[in-house]
Chains A and B, each alone.
Chain A
Amino acid sequence: QVQLVQSGAEVKKPGASVKVSCKASGYTFTDYYMHWVRQAPGQGFEWMGWVIPNSGGTNYAQKFQGRVTMTRDTSISTAYMELSRLRSDDTAVYYCARGDVYYGLDVWGQGTTVTVSS
């Protein structure tokens, strides 16, 4: 079955970086965009951007430009999201989600909790 499995929870200090992975299975990894979305505690969703697994092309939300890097390794069907210069308000659950042109974000990972605290 189609599945996205993310890496485990992280605790980071302010100013540090975090890299979250998302391993895809059950479909052709290069056929779909991979999006990243976050959800702060008790809040709604915030779209961060996408990476095109085929080409490596990216599109980042303006809010995160300069701090986020989305990459992929097609040999292991895995996408990555790295966020730098972490602040306390980056504490959130980070999700990867498969993007389909018609269905939108149709398959989601289980989420990775990132806690930023001194």
Chain B
Amino acid sequence: EIVLTQSPGTLSLSPGERAILSCRASQSVNSIYLAWFQQKPGQAPRLLIYGASSRATGIPDRFSGSGSGTDFTLTISRLEPEDFAVYYCQQYGSSPITFGQGTRLEIK
């Protein structure tokens, strides 16, 4: 099983700042199968990034993904008030599908 470890656990930033979230895998992940999700309280997850760097339909271009192998990054270039949420990485190329434990992005 591929274990995904996200850091930091909590990130406190202000609107307009840049957020950089990390996801590290216990073994190499085919970047085609690395995704990022956003989840707000009481809501289902929303797909942001698939294939490590491709934005899902309707996702603003301030969200970008990068990385390969065991290290992946989600960057939010200029935080908007609606971006404060919990973010999860996920790998779906190897069974079982696994998720990181999440990074909480909170308003400073």
Contacts and interface: CB of A to CB of B under 8 A. Distances in A.
Interface of A: 35, 37, 44-47, 59, 61-62, 95, 99, 102-111
Nearest to A59: B95
Interface in B1-54: 32-33, 35, 44-47, 50-51
Contacts of A102: 32, 50-51
A100 to B, nearest CB: 8
Contacts of B96: 47, 61-62
Interface string B73-108: 000000000000000101010011111111000000
Contacts of B47: 103-107
Given A62-B96, A104-B90, A45 B50 contact: no
A106 B50 contact: yes
B72 to A, nearest CB: 14
A44 B104 CA distance: 11
B102 A44 contact: yes
A45 B88 CA distance: 9
B101 A44 contact: yes
11 contacts: A44-B99, A44-B100, A44-B101, A45-B45, A47-B99, A95-B44, A102-B50, A103-B51, A104-B47, A105-B47, A111-B44
A35 B100 contact: no
A95 B35 CA distance: 17
* Residue of B33, B45, B46, B56 contacting most chain A CB atoms (<10 Å): B45
A59 B95 CA distance: 9
A105 B37 CA distance: 10
B50 A47 contact: no
A62 B101 CA distance: 20
A22 to B, nearest CB: 12
A50 to B, nearest CB: 9
A45 B101 CA distance: 8
Nearest to A106: B47
